[in-house]
Amino acid sequence: MKSADPSPKSCRRRFLAQSGRAAAGAAVAAMTVPHVHAAEDNTIRLAQIGCGPRGSGAVGNALSVPDDAPIELYAMADVFPDRVNAACKALRQQFGDRIDVPPERQFVGFDAYRKAIDCLRPGDVALLTTRAYPRPTHFDYAVEKGVNVFMEKSFAPDPGGLKRMLRAGKAAEKKNLKIATGLMCRHSVARQALIEKVRNGELGDIQLIRAYRMGGGRGLAPRKPDQNELEWQVRRSVDFLWASSGLFIELLIHQVDECCWLKDAWPVKAHGVGGRVPYSTDCGQNLDTYSIEYTFADGSTALVTNRNIAGCHNDFATFLHGTRRAAQFSGDIHAATVHTYKNQRIDKGDVDWEAGEEPCSPWQAEWNVLIDAIRNDKPHNETERSMLSNLVSVMGRAAVHSGKVITWDEMLASDFLFCDYVDDLNYDSPAPVQADDQGRYPAPVPGKWTEI
């Protein structure tokens, strides 16, 4: 399979390098966009809330939509001024005057999201591209102000936050707002083709799905005494469960979503194991390995495996096994490596069908669909399925961390929050977790830990 975007450098998560050039001539097939007013002057304005590479990459995709009417970045917000400055400079280098963000529309602080969203009009788009911890706060405000939303994964770090997101999604639907989420693989034409084969029964009953993301290690050093505790945790949010959902969900939510999409169902329970390498000096809260077995109502299983340890075998792929044959659904760095096999052997020599080349990357496709929905007033709200996939991910994480079997009913009943004062955070707020005298933050201990 030749992927449309095989190189890591063209992945949106790797930021701006090729997004404009790669998407400039690409369109989701037969997409024709007339001049329809999204706002009075027909320009869709964007507000980027979260100015890391993920957010700036999303801006790049938005500005690369093959659209007849103008789109521009109009406001930016982040907790840290250096991130706003760096992102604005890099985006201007690529997109020139389409980055219409003078200093008075560059906002900094925990409340900066409000000021950026307040710059928008009905029909405009708020890009919620921070880590997970403030997403419910930001989403609530965007819906209240009546603007469309693109939001990145993960969507909230805990069941209570995800339930809040679901409520906001319902409110957005009543207002006819267009909501796109960052689970971009749902927009992969190649994957959609295999989903059709699964639904038609060409693979038989799906009995097993295997999803892997295994790569190099990472870790958190102790905080220096002169560094503010809350700012330290926000800047290094991937190392903290309250701030980002943790590394497992940051990396594996796509694979979990693929499993649920393939089964067209939510698993009824999860159990798993995980741990850290011996003599670890990591001060953060992540484990180094996660292995989760999800069971669906029909008894079929999805195995989701994550390892972040240097010097080991790496893998990044999703496979499925039906009663008739097996298939590959996804490849390295979310490449559209999509094909079926003659039998259960995962071998290149046994491939009997492969999907055609995609018209554009799924990162671009999700934006093409969103802008088309805004211009032509088509229903588009991905909130519910995305929040439930995130809840499945939290269920698996909780099973590993607690050492217990966690059920879907338990997840739906839980209102657990890692931090109950996220809405009110400011630079003087206490950090949600504290380090011990060695600078290490509380890591999950199975049998003692709870997070639902």
How many whole angstroms separate alpha carbon 41 and alpha carbon 46?
14
pLDDT in the model for residue 28? 34
Q: Which of 440, 441, 449, 429 lies closest to 133, judged by CA?
A: 429
- Taking the C-alpha atoms of residue 361 and residue 26, their distance in angstroms, rounded to an integer, is 9
Look at residue 19 in the predicted model and tell me its pLDDT: 39
d(CA 132, CA 129): 9
165-194 per-residue burial string, b: 16 or more CB within 10 A, e: under 16? bbbbbeebeeeebbbbbbbbbbbbbbbebb
Pairing of strands 406-407, 269-275: antiparallel
Which residue would you say has higher pLDDT here, 348 or 13? 348
pTM, two decimal places: 0.91
Rounded percentage of the chain residues whose pLDDT exceeds 70: 91
Does residue 8 register a pLDDT over 90? no
At 358-377, the pLDDT tens digits run 999 999 999 999 999 999 99
Domains of the chain: 11-185+363-382 (3.40.50.720), 189-354+390-419 (3.30.360.10)
What is the average pLDDT across 174-195? 98
CA torsion 371-375-378-380 (nearest 10°) is 30
Q: Do 165 and 156 meet the contact criterion of CB atoms below 8 Å apart?
A: yes
What is the C-alpha to C-alpha distance for residues 333 and 14, in angstroms, rounded to an integer? 11
Confidence of residue 68 (pLDDT cuts 50, 70, 90): confident
Is the pLDDT score of 1 beyond 70? no
> Band of the pLDDT at 67, cuts 50, 70, 90?
confident
> How much is the pLDDT for 74?
98
Q: Average pLDDT in the 226-249 region? A: 97
Sign, CA dihedral 383-37-45-117, equals negative
> Which H/E stretch holds residue 301?
strand 301-308
The string of pLDDT tens digits covering residues 418-438 is 999 999 999 999 999 999 999
Are the C-beta atoms of residues 360 and 368 closer than 8 Å to each other?
yes
Mean model confidence pLDDT for the chain: 92
Rg, Å, the chain Cα set: 21
Residue 217 has pLDDT above 90, yes or no: no
pLDDT in tens, 376-416: 999 999 999 999 999 999 999 999 999 999 999 999 999 99
Query: Facing residues of 150 across strands?
Result: 127, 180
Write the DSSP assignment of 15-78 as a string of letters: -STTHHHHHHT--STT-------SSTTSPEEEEEES-SHHHHHHHHHHHTS--SS-EEEEEEEE
* Residue 232 pLDDT class (50, 70, 90 cuts): very high
H/E stretch holding 195: helix 189-199
Give 253-290 pLDDT, tens digit per residue.
999 999 999 999 999 999 999 999 999 999 999 999 99
Model confidence at 306: pLDDT above 90: yes
Task: Give mean pLDDT, residues 172-186.
Answer: 98
Per DSSP, the three-state class of 101 is coil
Q: Angle of helix 383-402 relative to helix 159-174, nearest 10 degrees?
A: 180
CB 283 within 8 A of CB 435: yes
pLDDT in tens, 109-135: 999 999 999 999 999 999 999 999 999
Q: What is the pLDDT of residue 262?
A: 98
